[in-house]
Amino acid sequence: MIGTAMMIAVIGKHEPEVKLDYVPWDIRVLENGASHVFGITLGKTTIQEANQLYASFAETKLEVAEDEANYPKLKLLAVYKELIMNGMNTQLQLTYQLEQDALNSIYTKVSVGDENKTPRTSFQISPEVEMQYLNTPVASIRYIPAIAYGEDTIRQLFGQPSEEVIVNESQRLWRYPESGLTIQINTDQTDTFIYTPIQ
């Protein structure tokens, strides 16, 4: 852990151009029902192991949204902004598997003294706080390629979705519950692939 902290400080979280062979349609469902994709087993592989797997140090941030009762809805993310997967520039976001109490504690630490009157949607996490949670398992994954695949290609690679939900004029959701995958089909930006535990 100490060595990892020193490496983070020395390289400033610079992400080397390591070419990875992972592809988003290679999803394996294990015997215990857990899904495995991008070299990560949801609920088992830790953030520390992911850093080693991708030979990169993720940028950790606390994402803040509000629920229907205007109560902060918190999510701690490890963000790899410039991975090269299967020859394509890719952003990968890993969600830390943390209980609400731990997320509230982090939020209290990062929001103390924040004089910005405009509500914040995210906070950068200090290396000290980050180090406390490196052994946390990955709860879910968001895969954001730099180039859109297109609907026809997605159907060829992933098959026909079990369910299609229209969110608004510019976004639809394609759901593949058997593999824990939801694809956000966007007309105004590249699509987002979301991998969650199989229900």
Taking only the tens of pLDDT, the chain with its 199 residues reads 444 443 444 344 444 467 899 999 999 999 888 899 999 999 999 999 999 999 999 999 999 986 555 567 899 999 999 899 988 899 999 999 999 999 999 998 887 656 555 567 889 888 888 899 999 999 999 999 998 888 999 999 999 999 999 999 889 999 999 999 999 998 888 899 999 998 7
H or E element at residue 92: strand 88-96
Q: Which residues of 131-167 are buried (b: 16+ CB within 10 A; e: fewer)?
A: bebbebbbbbbbbbbeeebeeeebeeebeebeeeeee
pLDDT at residue 54, as a whole number: 95
What is the model's pLDDT at position 10?
Answer: 39
Parallel, antiparallel or unpaired: strands 163-168 and 88-96: unpaired
Computed on alpha carbons and rounded to an integer, the radius of gyration of the chain in Å comes to 17
DSSP 189: S
Distance CA 18, CA 102 (A): 32
What's this model's pTM, rounded to 2 decimal places? Answer: 0.85
**Per-residue pLDDT, 3:** 43
How far is it, in rounded angstroms, from Cα 199 to Cα 196? 9
The sheet with strand 28-29 has its strands ordered as 28-29, 35-37, 40-41
What is the pLDDT, as a whole number, of residue 163? 95
Per-domain boundaries in the chain? 2-148
pLDDT of residue 78: 96
Q: What's the residue count for the chain? A: 199
What's residue 187's pLDDT? 87
pLDDT at 158: 95
